[in-house]
């Protein structure tokens, strides 16, 4: 299967089902067998997914993409051994990062709900075209992209998590902050955005936020 068909949802599903690491292997850049150059798409999505893992408190090194030819069996074996060593060194998913099972599942579910939105962003805001992997690495590792990602995906991720929390019961700012590991000021900002989108409302009687 062409790496251009590797969906962000596939990667998140693998982690949600307990994988400690995900390796994506594709043909060499600029040596695509088709006209789509899908491996560049896979490279962009890998960078985006690594940013999402970081948002969830997971080690981004749990995901790796490499480009090799079908005749490089030895190189493939070396890469897999390296990746296996890296993942074993990081430790079990969630446990190594100090995230309990329920919170990990909660964060992965919230991330999965954002996949359609992120695909839209990839087409409209994140789609850049360079001629080398180094150029992609520099761009997606830049402060410019970090700001753009925080303003778009980071904000939506927090809103998605808040909405999921409020499905159980109304909560105060402090309770939400404690559950999500955010500061009260960050939660207030995200609640304001969620309110403007018609997702949440403030219940005067309970002095808590609830779903709209």
- For 6, the token pair is 């590797």
Q: Give me the residue spans of the domains in the chain.
A: 1-98, 128-212
Exposed, middle or buried: residue 47 (CB in 10 Å: 0-12, 13-18, 19+)? Answer: buried
123-174 per-position pLDDT tens digit: 899 988 888 899 999 999 999 999 999 989 998 999 889 998 998 899 999 9
| Average pLDDT for 86-103 | 95
Look at residue 35 in the predicted model and tell me its pLDDT. 63
At 1, is the pLDDT very low, low, confident or very high (cuts 50, 70, 90)? low
| Average pLDDT for 170-184 | 90
Look at residue 30 in the predicted model and tell me its pLDDT. 78
In the three-class reduction of DSSP (H, G, I as helix; E, B as strand; rest coil), residue 55 is classed as helix
| Average pLDDT for 82-90 | 97
At 184, is the pLDDT very low, low, confident or very high (cuts 50, 70, 90)? very high
CATH topology of domain 128-212: Arc Repressor Mutant, subunit A (1.10.10)
Residue ranges with strand state E in the chain: 22-26, 63-67, 200-203, 208-211
In this predicted structure, the answer to whether residue 87 has a pLDDT above a threshold of 90 is yes
Euclidean distance between CA atoms 129 and 131, whole angstroms: 7
Euclidean distance between CA atoms 150 and 48, whole angstroms: 11
Q: What is the DSSP string of 56-85?
A: TT--GGGEEEEE--TT-HHHHHHHHHHHHH
Which distant-in-sequence residues (6+ apart) come within 8 Å of 125 by Cβ?
148, 152
Please, what is the angle between helix 101-113 and helix 8-16, to 10°? 160
| Average pLDDT for 174-184 | 89
- Buried/exposed 127-152: b ≥16 CB within 10 Å, e otherwise: eeeeeeeeebeeebeeeebeeebeeb
Euclidean distance between CA atoms 157 and 108, whole angstroms: 10
At 90, is the pLDDT very low, low, confident or very high (cuts 50, 70, 90)? very high
11-27 per-position pLDDT tens digit: 999 999 999 999 998 88
33-64 per-position pLDDT tens digit: 666 677 888 889 999 999 999 999 999 999 99
Helices (H), 18-141: 38-55, 73-90, 101-113, 115-124, 133-140
Residue 190 host element (H or E) = helix 184-196
Structure pTM?
0.86
62-80 per-position pLDDT tens digit: 999 998 887 888 999 999 9
Euclidean distance between CA atoms 170 and 157, whole angstroms: 19
Look at residue 182 in the predicted model and tell me its pLDDT. 84
């Amino acid at each position: 299967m062409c790496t251009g068909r590797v969906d962000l949802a596939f990667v998140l599903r693998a982690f949600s089902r307990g994988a400690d690491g995900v390796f994506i292997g594709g043909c060499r850049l600029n040596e695509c067998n088709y006209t789509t150059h899908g491996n560049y798409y896979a490279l962009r999505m890998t960078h985006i997914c690594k940013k999402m893992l970081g948002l969830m408190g997971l080690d981004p090194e749990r995901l790796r993409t490499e480009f090799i030819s079908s005749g490089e069996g030895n190189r493939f074996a070396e890469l897999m051994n390296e990746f296996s060593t890296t993942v074993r060194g990081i430790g079990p998913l969630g446990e190594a990062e100090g995230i309990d099972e329920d919170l990990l599942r909660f964060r992965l579910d919230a991330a999965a709900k954002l996949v359609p939105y992120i695909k839209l962003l990839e087409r409209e805001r994140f789609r850049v075209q360079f001629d080398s992997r180094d150029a992609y690495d520099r761009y997606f590792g830049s402060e410019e992209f970090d700001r753009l990602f925080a303003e778009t995906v980071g904000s939506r991720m927090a809103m998605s998590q808040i909405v999921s929390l409020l499905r159980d019961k109304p909560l105060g700012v402090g309770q939400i902050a404690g559950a999500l590991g955010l500061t009260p000021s960050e939660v207030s900002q995200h609640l304001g955005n969620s309110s403007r989108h018609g997702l949440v409302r403030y219940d005067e009687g309970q002095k808590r936020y609830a779903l709209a």
